[in-house]
Structures are given as C-alpha cells and as structure tokens.
C-alpha cells in the first residue's frame, strides 16, 4: 500500500474499474479502489449498452467518441471479448413518451445510431467484469475503509489509520447510497426501489434488450433464452413485468433480488464535486456509464477536451438551472 493516493474510488461497477485502470495507467496516478468482490451468484443490477435515453445532440456526440475509445482501450488490455453487440428496442406506451422517443431516434441517427420500428441494431454492449488483477491499482475491501468529515472535506482511514487521498470518488449507486448522507444528496438525485429477476428459458423476444420506458421494465435475453428483467419503481412491479412478458407466460422465476438505485428527477446525468464534503459523485448515467469512462477519467485528471469540459459543466451538481440538460425520465405507469 502507498502512503497516499491521488484517487480513492469507491465502487464495484465496470465504470469504477475502468476509471481506476485509466487513471493509473493512462494518467500515471496512484489509485486505490474500494470495493468488495461481486458474488458470482448475484443477479446483475444493470445492463451496459451504449444507447442512452437522450435527446440532446451533445450527449450523442460525446458517446460516439467514447464508444470508439472504449473499444480501443479494451483491445489494448485484451478485453475485446467483453465487448459485443446486441439489438435494443425502446417501447413507449404514452403519447408524450412516444414523441420524445421519435426525437431521440432522429438525433441518434445523426450520430450513426440508426433504428427501424424502434429497434437499434448492433448496439455496443459491455459484458463481464473488468479485471484489475494485473493492474497497479490497489484494491481493498469496503469494510477496511472509513469515510469521515474533515475540516477541508471528507477524509479516509484504512484499518483505523489516516489515509490521505487527493480526490474521493463515489462511482456507483451503491457507494453513494451507503456513504453519502441523505442531507448531502443533491435534491434532484432520487433513490428508488428496483428488482432484478431471472426467468426460465422463454420464447425469443423481439430484441436482445427491450426497454419499456413507461413501465419501468428492461428485459435482456441470454444465450440460454432465459430473461434477465430489471424492474424499477414502487407500484405493482410484478404486474408491469408480466405485461412485458405476456407472450411467454406462464414463466418460472429462477431468482429475484431487491435493491435501490439512483435516478435524477430530470433524466439528465449528474457528475461533479459536492460541498462541503468535496466528494465527487457520478450518478444518473444509466446504461452508458462504462462507455464514458475515458472522458470521466480525463475530467478527474484535469485534462478534459473542450467539448468534455462543456458537457460535464452542464451536468455539475452545483448548477442550479438544469433545464438545458433535462431529458427523458422513465416514470412507470
């Protein structure tokens, strides 16, 4: 272990792992990752596909460059087997959502993400864990690290001893929910219940990934034809899920888990430093989080491009007017 670190990054997500590796190896930083191993039996709580619920051209422009850079990064670390492509279908039930989806489709086509009948073909998907075993990144379990308020912001201890860190990053929902007190959470960052379910093998669904925007349900069919279902929101999750699987019922559930996730009230990502804790939070990126790792790493290292600087400034938690970045909000019926 080093005596101090440039970055301490909390999170077990692919985004957190990629950020650690990029900051250590591309930017030459001392990086500590704070994360417990993810149990192999645990159901995934998200799907990493490069298709945002975004109508803003700036977001699609940033993503287009990020996808190419992420593919190059994975090739350099012999991780291209973790990047594949799948078809994604977006489904709207309400007229307002259908209008927003039509606008999204038009904007996405301008950046090379074309679709037909709501299906986007060959969308990049990141699957599997990002391995840091051969990295210079140091990893410790979450139980060994304490986060406490200090005179100039949050401070860390490791096994009870002070551990200086230049920046402390909360890089996934679980770390923010565990470590950021409700009183310090930005008002437009909301926690909501969610459920993940794995079904028995089912009939083939219309696309590899199906997102029902007004029902708060995402389906992903696996190679054995079982379906991973992610359901958000409070009311009648089982009923909303059944409505999306109507053509395949009855269907046995193999496993189910309940958890909480973070969303923003306006549908736009939130990335930046909080006061007075000085913690950096990364939230609301949805399915594209891992693909933006190279851009976020440059932001944290202080070397973003001009375009990245403008995009991140618009999504900073200190910004009071979020209307210029407000986007599609998934609100289950």
Question: 299-314, pLDDT tens digit by residue?
Answer: 999 999 999 999 999 9
pLDDT(294) > 70: yes
Q: Which residue has the higher pLDDT, 243 or 247?
A: 243
CA atoms of 77 and 32, how far apart (whole Å): 20
Nearest to 195 by CA among 44, 49, 89, 47: 44
| pLDDT value of residue 217 | 96
The fraction of the chain above a pLDDT of 70, given in percent, is 99
* Overall average pLDDT of the 226-246 stretch: 90
| pLDDT value of residue 82 | 85
Contact assessment for residue 232 and residue 262, using Cβ atoms and an 8 Å cutoff: no
Q: Which residue has the higher pLDDT, 268 or 150?
A: 268
With cut-offs at 50, 70 and 90, classify the pLDDT of residue 333: low
Q: Which residue has the higher pLDDT, 332 or 193?
A: 193
The fraction of the chain above a pLDDT of 90, given in percent, is 80
| pLDDT value of residue 93 | 94
Question: Phi and psi (nearest 5°) for 209?
Answer: -130, 130
pLDDT(70) > 70: yes
Torsion-angle region of 225 (φ positive above 0: left; ψ -120 to 50: alpha; else: beta): left
pLDDT(44) > 80: yes
Residues 6 or more apart whose CB falls under 8 angstroms from that of 92 comprise 98, 100, 101, 213, 214
Cα first-last separation, the chain: 50
Nearest to 188 by CA among 104, 311, 272: 272
Question: 205-219, pLDDT tens digit by residue?
Answer: 999 999 999 999 999
Q: Which of 33-37, 76-80, 134-138 has the lowest mean pLDDT?
A: 76-80
- Mean residue pLDDT across the chain: 93
Question: 173-199, pLDDT tens digit by residue?
Answer: 999 999 998 889 999 999 999 999 999
* Overall average pLDDT of the 240-264 stretch: 88
* Overall average pLDDT of the 267-282 stretch: 95
Question: 151-178, pLDDT tens digit by residue?
Answer: 788 999 999 999 999 999 999 999 999 9
| pLDDT value of residue 150 | 84
Question: 111-135, pLDDT tens digit by residue?
Answer: 999 999 889 999 999 987 888 888 8
Q: What angle do CA 324, 16, 39 make, to 5 degrees?
A: 130
Residue 314's SS3 state is: helix
* Overall average pLDDT of the 131-147 stretch: 92
Q: What angle do CA 171, 173, 174 make, to 5 degrees?
A: 100
- Report long-range pairs for 59-63 (Cβ below 8 Å, ≥24 apart): 59/311, 59/327, 60/107, 60/108, 60/110, 60/111, 60/113, 61/111, 61/307, 62/292, 62/295, 62/307, 62/308, 62/311, 63/111, 63/288, 63/291, 63/292
């Amino acid at each position: 272990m080093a005596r101090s670190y440039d970055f301490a990054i909390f999170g077990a997500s692919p985004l957190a792992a990629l950020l650690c590796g990029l900051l250590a190896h591309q930017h030459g930083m001392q990086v500590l990752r704070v994360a417990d191993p993810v149990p192999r039996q645990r159901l995934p709580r998200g799907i990493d596909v490069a298709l945002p619920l975004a109508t803003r051209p700036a977001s699609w422009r940033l993503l287009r460059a990020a996808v190419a850079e992420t593919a190059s990064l994975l090739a350099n670390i012999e991780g291209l087997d973790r990047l594949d492509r799948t078809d994604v279908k977006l489904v709207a039930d309400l007229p307002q959502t259908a209008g927003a989806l039509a606008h999204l489709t038009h904007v996405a086509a301008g950046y090379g993400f074309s679709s037909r009948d709501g299906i986007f073909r060959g969308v990049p998907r990141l699957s599997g864990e990002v391995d840091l075993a051969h990295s210079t990144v140091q990893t410790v379990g979450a139980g060994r690290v304490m986060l406490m308020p200090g005179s100039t912001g949050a401070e860390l201890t490791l096994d009870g001893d002070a551990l200086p860190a230049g920046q402390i990053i909360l890089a996934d929902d679980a770390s923010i929910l565990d470590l950021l007190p409700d009183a310090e959470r930005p008002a437009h960052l909301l926690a909501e219940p969610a459920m993940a379910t794995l079904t028995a093998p089912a009939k083939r669904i219309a696309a590899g990934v199906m997102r029902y925007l007004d029902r708060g349900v995402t389906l992903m069919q696996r190679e054995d034809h079982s379906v991973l279902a992610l359901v958000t929101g409070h009311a009648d999750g089982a009923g909303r899920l059944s409505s999306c699987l109507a053509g395949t019922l009855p269907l046995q559930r193999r496993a189910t888990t309940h958890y909480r996730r973070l969303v923003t009230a306006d549908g736009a990502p939130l990335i930046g430093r909080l006061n007075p804790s000085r913690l950096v939070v990364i939230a609301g990126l949805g399915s594209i989080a891992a693909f933006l790792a190279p851009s976020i790493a440059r932001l944290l290292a202080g070397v973003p491009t001009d375009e990245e600087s403008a995009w991140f400034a618009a999504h900073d938690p200190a910004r009071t007017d979020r209307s210029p970045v407000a986007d599609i909000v998934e609100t289950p019926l």
